[in-house]
Chain A
Amino acid sequence: MITKRLLFVLGAGVLALVTACGGGSKAAQPPASHSPAATHSSPAKHKSSGIPQDNGGDHDGDNSGGPSDGDGNI
């Protein structure tokens, strides 16, 4: 009788521990809603009147097959 009661109490303890453990693991997972793509709004580009481009005035390499430079204009 005592053995049965002991078994019942300890069994319930194990069940509670496993349940709590599973809940804890779930809470430790990173939120699934983080999407870097969602944080970037597509920028509406406004061209500034900065450095002259398109070989209209600069004749630099990026307008003749060279690497693109760092200007924010075309």
Chain B
Amino acid sequence: MRLRRIRPGGAPGGSGGALPRASAAAVLTAALSLALFGCASGRSSSAPGDGAAPAATSAGFGWFRPGPAPGAWQHASLSGQSATLSYPGSLRSEHSDPGTVTVGSTARSGEVLVYLNVTPKQGDETLRNWPDFRMEHLREDGQSAVRLDGVSGPLNFRGGHGRCVIDNYTTDIHHNHYNEIACIVRGAHATSVLVAATSTSAWRASRALLEKVVSSYQAS
């Protein structure tokens, strides 16, 4: 029996150059496809990175959605300003510095459940330096173990623009441990500072309320 010799890449009885050309084209087509796929996937994988930078600056502030407070909430304004703090009716006005607004709730044990304070801008705090300013202020105020948990980018408050930090610290007196959302908000006519805080032990339970208070704050 006589075996027909088949050339590699060839077909029995083929014309010699036809199949090598076809297979070369197939290989190159595959290579081109791979190159194009790699190119496309490379670009798509870099796209989230481009968008991630702004999101990273506001990490931890996805909850911020400016809007009116629930209808049953109370309202308080700084004297001479129309900046308005909205808060649940269960909170009570507390003694604070003249010209400021403070409402809150304290457990029988003395644990601070909710503490809300609005103060007109007093020092050199700005939207730009706010994270550094607040951390430095807490330390100068005698607080220890001051830890920054989150820094927002620019936030669009109702009636103005602001910036917030989330942090926690321990007081020098009585060594109480608090968590807070502290914001500076610049309105058309005035700049104010909003602090929404709670004892660390109540942070998990009170945080959603504090976030709602911050989201509903109205600048003037």
- With a cutoff of 8 Å between Cβ atoms, the chain B residues found around residue A52 in the complex are 97-98
In contact, A28 and B122 (Cβ under 8 angstroms): no
- With a cutoff of 8 Å between Cβ atoms, the chain B residues found around residue A2 in the complex are 17, 21
Task: Report how many residues on chain A are interfacial, defined by Cβ distance under 8 Å.
Answer: 50
- With a cutoff of 8 Å between Cβ atoms, the chain B residues found around residue A25 in the complex are 39, 42-43, 46
- CB interface residues, A 6-59, toward B, < 8 Å: 6-7, 10-11, 13-14, 17-18, 21-22, 24-25, 28-30, 34, 36, 39-48, 50-53, 58-59
In contact, B47 and A71 (Cβ under 8 angstroms): no
Distance between Cα atoms of A43 and B32 in the complex (Å): 56
Which of B115, B133, B138, B182 interacts with A43 by CB under 8 Å?
Answer: B133
In contact, A45 and B136 (Cβ under 8 angstroms): yes
- CB interface residues, B 141-156, toward A, < 8 Å: 141, 143, 151
Which of A6, A13, A34 interacts with B21 by CB under 8 Å?
Answer: A6
Which of A17, A48, A68 interacts with B122 by CB under 8 Å?
Answer: A48
- With a cutoff of 8 Å between Cβ atoms, the chain B residues found around residue A11 in the complex are 28
Task: Report how many residues on chain B are interfacial, defined by Cβ distance under 8 Å.
Answer: 65
Closest chain A residue to B143 by CB distance? A68
Distance between Cα atoms of A67 and B178 in the complex (Å): 7
Distance between Cα atoms of A29 and B52 in the complex (Å): 11
Closest chain A residue to B197 by CB distance? A67
- With a cutoff of 8 Å between Cβ atoms, the chain B residues found around residue A74 in the complex are 140-141
In contact, A6 and B24 (Cβ under 8 angstroms): yes
Q: Given that A28-B43, A36-B57, A65-B171 are contacting pairs, would A14 and B24 also be in contact in the complex, using a CB cutoff of 8 Å?
A: no
- With a cutoff of 8 Å between Cβ atoms, the chain A residues found around residue B17 in the complex are 2-3
Q: Given that A3-B20, A40-B131, A60-B95 are contacting pairs, would A66 and B176 also be in contact in the complex, using a CB cutoff of 8 Å?
A: yes
Distance between Cα atoms of A47 and B124 in the complex (Å): 8
In contact, A69 and B42 (Cβ under 8 angstroms): no
In contact, A70 and B118 (Cβ under 8 angstroms): yes
- CB interface residues, B 96-143, toward A, < 8 Å: 96-100, 102, 112, 115, 117-119, 121-125, 128-129, 131-133, 136-138, 140-141, 143
In contact, B180 and A68 (Cβ under 8 angstroms): yes
Closest chain B residue to A28 by CB distance? B46
Q: Given that A42-B132, A71-B193, A72-B193 are contacting pairs, would A18 and B180 also be in contact in the complex, using a CB cutoff of 8 Å?
A: no
Q: A residues near B, CB below 8 A?
A: 2-3, 6-7, 10-11, 13-14, 17-18, 21-22, 24-25, 28-30, 34, 36, 39-48, 50-53, 58-74
Give 8 pairs: A residue, B residue, CB < 8 Å, sorted on A: A43-B136, A46-B124, A51-B119, A53-B97, A66-B171, A69-B100, A70-B192, A70-B195
List the 6 shortest-distance A-B pairs measured between CB atoms, nearest first. Answer: A72-B123, A70-B193, A21-B39, A65-B174, A72-B122, A70-B119
